[in-house]
Amino acid sequence: MSIDAKQVADLRAQTGAGMMDAKKALEETSGDVEKAVVLLRERGVAKAAKKADRETHEGRVHSYIHANGKLGAMVEVLCETDFVARNEAFISFCHDLALHVSAADPLYLSRQDVPEEIVTKEKEIYTAEMEGQGKPSEVIAKIVEGKLNKWYSEVVLLEQPFIKDEDVTIEEFVKSKIASLGENMQIRRFARFSI
């Protein structure tokens, strides 16, 4: 099957993958764009995992201020080299993260950052909510775990659905950028300001 440049360009626009990676994925999936997207995402996760141990000493602090001047966010994103830190794709990535933080209002970067007493309190609230329904304790435990995971996806930045693509979490978005830019990257911290 012949893969044309438009298909490759469309796949690159959807995934942020390089031209040769996009073409190869389309060839392997016989031109099926949806399967190619899945294939590239799987490969991106694998590439990102290989780079996760590499040190990040460079990066940038990026800000986003909403047009009305009453909402903004700052993110500190680290990468391996100053070359990538000055790259337009990296700057755009940082902008997307700052935009997301301003819109989604996360409270914590990762699950590990959530204080244990807050997690315990949430579990107590969900358990008390379910106990009056007469369900077995093991069913209640599973429901509470599900509600807790939903809560994490609302308050933990890395687990939130990305505002520009609800099918991708911020963690998956970061991994896709690691794969496309070829360097380890991590969000170190963020802040949101609102009037």
pLDDT in tens, 151-180: 999 999 999 999 999 988 999 999 888 888
Higher pLDDT, 171 or 4: 171
Size (the chain), residues: 195
Q: Give backbone dihedrals phi and psi of 101, rounded to 5 degrees, phi first.
A: -60, -40
Q: What pTM did the predictor assign? A: 0.69
**Those residues with Cβ within 8 angstroms of residue 6's Cβ, 6 or more apart along the chain or in another chain:** none
Phi, psi for residue 115 in degrees, rounded to 5: -60, 140
Write out the H or E segment, with its range, that includes residue 73.
strand 71-79
Q: Is the pLDDT score of 43 beyond 90? A: no
Cα–Cα distance, 84 to 78 (Å, whole number)? 10
CA 40 vs. chain centroid, Å, equals 16
Whether 55 contacts 35, CB under 8 Å: no
50 is written with which tokens? Answer: 């290989």
Q: Which residues contact residue 191 at a Cβ distance below 8 angstroms, ignoring those fewer than 6 apart?
A: 73, 74, 101
- 115: buried, middle or exposed (CB in 10 Å: 19+, 13-18, 0-12)? exposed
Residue 101: the pLDDT is 96
| pLDDT tens figures, 108-160 | 999 999 999 999 999 888 888 877 777 777 888 888 899 999 999 999 999 99
Strands (E), 141-185: 161-162, 165-169
